[in-house]
Amino acid sequence: MDLNADSITVRFGGLVATDGVTIRVRPRQIVGLIGPNGAGKTTLVNVLSGFQRPSAGRVRLGEEDLTGRARDGFARSGIVRTFQAVRLFRSMTVSENVEVGYVSRGIARGAARRKARELLAEFDLADKADLPATGLSYGQERRAGLARALAMEPRHLLLDEPAAGVAPAEADELAATIRGIRDRYGCGVLVIEHNMALVMSLCDHIHVLDTGRTIAAGTPDAIRADETVRSAYLGASAAR
């Protein structure tokens, strides 16, 4: 089922954070959401995941209207997000952090533990399962956060700057991981990201915001060649 945001407007007093934005994420599609700081990207993802109610517009999963539901209602419908700050539970082990995702879906604790360890092995974290979450490196934290999100079996996965702070080699590995998630789980993926090399190589479709409005949407090649985008965000060097 497609995830659709239809004419989303969010106002904070006199500030319009997003202004009539429409975006679609299809199953097995990776969509990039880019734009300058303050463009409205995180606000839009907050709306798509139930963390922010829109002032106007609708959020739909297929024909199901999710607008106005609490964030746990979005999660139960299969809309799962990560944050730029991973937000692992520091008092828990790495395995327990992933188990939380399974338990939230009603899976018994013993089965959740087995599934969590299998999932951690997919992310090369099997040997970290019983460590406290504070014992992970930055890159390992990000992989653990992805594993926890996948434990909720998302129909659509929303990633907020997954490559923030990672080295170029790690960014390449991350791109391969995200493609693997798309291919194995069949979910749609929406990625907020400032790493343009990653966005251009990873995404099937890119949506560009500036000052809360859509200024372009299309394939990576079309976005790279768009003069409005280059002026607002990418810079002239992006066309080279």
Task: Give the separation between CA 219 and CA 221, rounded to whole angstroms.
Answer: 5
Nearest alpha-carbon partner for 114 in 140, 95, 86:
95
Q: What is the CATH number of domain 3-78+154-239?
A: 3.40.50.300
Amino acid in the structure at residue 229? V
pLDDT tens track for 24-37: 999 999 999 999 88
CB 123 within 8 A of CB 146: yes
pLDDT of 220 over the 90 cut: yes
The order of strands in the sheet holding 79-81 is: 79-81, 156-160, 188-192, 30-34, 205-210, 213-218
pLDDT tens track for 26-73: 999 999 999 988 899 999 999 999 999 999 999 999 999 999 899 999
Task: Give the separation between CA 187 and CA 155, rounded to whole angstroms.
Answer: 5
Going by their DSSP bridges, the two strands 213-218 and 15-25 should be labelled as unpaired
**Where do the structural domains in the chain lie, given as residue ranges?**
3-78+154-239, 87-152
> What percentage of the chain reaches a pLDDT higher than 90?
70
Q: Which letter does DSSP use for residue 93 in this model? A: B
Q: How many C-beta neighbours within 10 Å does residue 131 have?
A: 14
Q: Which two tokens stand for residue 111?
A: 């089965």
- Reported as a pLDDT band with limits 50, 70 and 90, residue 238 is very low
